[in-house]
């Protein structure tokens, strides 16, 4: 997708939830909080996949000036969101 965005000069968005991907060390997550991720845990494929996707996005921005956006939603809640997930 990044190669396509580069070729056609399109904007590309990487969206994810920060709360679902990391163990929170603080109640309110400040903008500069980097998170705490277990690289060998049961959810590590999601955590590390998210990190590599964001790294590739930033690399394409730095090297090829692709117009990227990264959105990390910190509190995913809603009518259908299970209350047992901590959201």
Q: Which positions are catalytic?
A: 46
In Å, what is the CA distance from 52 to each residue of 45, 58, 77, 79, 83? Answer: 10, 10, 25, 31, 29
Please check whether residue 76 is in contact with residue 19, taking contact to mean a CB–CB distance below 8 angstroms.
yes
Please check whether residue 59 is in contact with residue 2, taking contact to mean a CB–CB distance below 8 angstroms.
no
């Amino acid at each position: 997708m990044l190669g396509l965005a580069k070729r056609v000069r399109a904007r590309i968005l990487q969206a994810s939830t920060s709360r679902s991907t990391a163990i929170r060390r603080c109640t309110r997550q400040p903008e500069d909080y980097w998170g705490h991720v277990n690289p060998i845990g049961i959810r590590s494929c999601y955590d590390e996949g998210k990190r590599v996707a964001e790294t590739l996005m930033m690399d394409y921005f730095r090297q090829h000036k692709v117009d990227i956006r990264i959105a990390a939603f910190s509190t995913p809640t809603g009518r259908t969101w299970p209350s047992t997930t901590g959201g």
